[in-house]
Structure formats: structure tokens, C-alpha cells
Amino acid sequence: MKLKNKVAIVSGGARDIGKAISIELAGQGAKVVINYFGSTEKAQETVSEITAAGGEAIAVKGDLTKTADAENLVAEATKAFGDKIDILVNNAGGIVARKSLDEMDAEFFNYVLQLNTTSTFLLTKATATKMGEGGSIINIASQAGRDGGGPGAAAYATSKGAVMTFTRAMAKELGARGIRVNALCPGMISTTFHDTFTKDEVRKNVAAGTPLGREGTPQEVATIISFLASEEAGFLTGVNMDTNGGLLFS
């Protein structure tokens, strides 16, 4: 229970990696605020799983590309669990679609950046005012932010590269308040993200070319997040940590 009585916000915390993170943090004793937008049923299922196991959690709907929704999420968190927030996991985001340069327009490009980068900025800004010494912010970046991503992922890769740089900048700025800021850069993780946007043969080829010979799991990501959120990682900040089975060495 290394996070006992800590308060954590997990954006996009209702399904896949976000769900695994929410359940893992709750299992380590944190009180979890699960943000969702389109996954109402899955958000309630995740809350139910946590409470059935003896944990504490609430779900709050919000579009985190909007300042008002980000601020409302923080307000609901403090209303439920007290005025201090200890942990923020910026997990909300997505690829939306795979589009080549010729297929993309400015509207699509900007939307993907808003979904992945602007949302991280807005929720970090809203939450940091409620954090203090010992606070931990973990951003979910991507291997795509390091290597440019696969075909049609230029907008997504660009947005995640920006998240990585934002992580470094916030580590410098918020360190004076005792707040650590790190990011995780997952590679091929077995989720509905790849079920939807990555062809089966591509997934098989990537797994075969990975030193560990497989995809990762959401739980493996969640375990690392739990570590970064805890005092065990007390001298880590500004780190963009890879979890890709050895596919890419940074």
C-alpha cells in the first residue's frame, strides 16, 4: 500500500491502459478520480471493480481539450477527497486515424495535438495548483514520440514528442514546489488502440522483432506508473521512460 491515502487523478482512466492504471493505484491505497469522456459504462465498471475490492474511486466526465472541463475535474476531485491532489496521470488521448501528409488537413493535425498535448497542458495547469511537496505527475507519451511512429501516425507522433518535451519543461518548473514530472513511452501494448488502428500482420511483425518477442500488457504499464507515483521514485524527474520490450533503446 505504498500510495495509501494519496489522491490520484487518471485522465482517460476508464479502459485499456487507463483502467489498469486506475485499478493499480487504488490497489496501492490511492483514492482515484477516473476521468472519461465517451466511455460512461466502462468508467462505472472500473469504479465498481475498485470499490468491490475495498478501494475508493469516483468517475468524472470531461473533455480535457476544454479548460472548463479540466478545471471541473480537479474541483470534483477535491470535493470528493479533500483539497490536496498527490498524483496526476495524463493518459487521455489517441491517434484518431492514420493519415499520410497528403491526406491530412490542418484541422485534423490540430485536433490530434489538442487531444494529446493540449489536454496534458490544461489538466497539468489545473492540477498543479492543488499539488505540493511530494506530488507526482506522470504523462503518457509514446515510442512514436521517439521514432516518428508507424505509417500515417505523423500527427500522433508529433503530439507525443511534444508531451515528452513538456514533461522536461515541467520537471524544471515544478521541481521548486517539490513536484516530480515524468513520462512513460509505451511501445506495442495489447489494447483496443492497436485492435482498431494497427493491422494484425503488423502487430505480429513488431512482436517478432522485439527482443522479448511479444507485446506488452496494460498491467505492465500500470505497475511502472505506480512506481513513478510513489516515493520509491523520489529522485526521478524529467525522465521519459521507455517500456517497449527492447524494441527501441533511447
> Across-strand partners of 241?
184
Position of cell 496526476? 88
Spatial contact of 182 and 228, defined as CB atoms under 8 Å apart: yes
DSSP the chain: -TTTT-EEEETTTTSHHHHHHHHHHHHTT-EEEEEESS-HHHHHHHHHHHHHTT-EEEEEE--TTSHHHHHHHHHHHHHHH-S---EEEE----------TTT--HHHHHHHHIIIIIHHHHHHHHHHTT--TT-EEEEE--THHHH--STT-HHHHHHHHHHHHHHHHHHHHHGGGT-EEEEEEE-SB-SHHHHHHS-HHHHHHHHHHSTT-S-B-HHHHHHHHHHHHSGGGTT--S-EEEESTTS---
Q: Has 156 been annotated as catalytic?
A: yes
Q: Which of 81, 156, 166, 193 is catalytic?
A: 156
Beta-bridge mates of residue 59: 34
Strands 56-61 and 180-186: unpaired
Return d(Cα 107, Cα 112) in angstroms, integer.
9
**Where in the sequence numbering do the catalytic residues fall?**
156
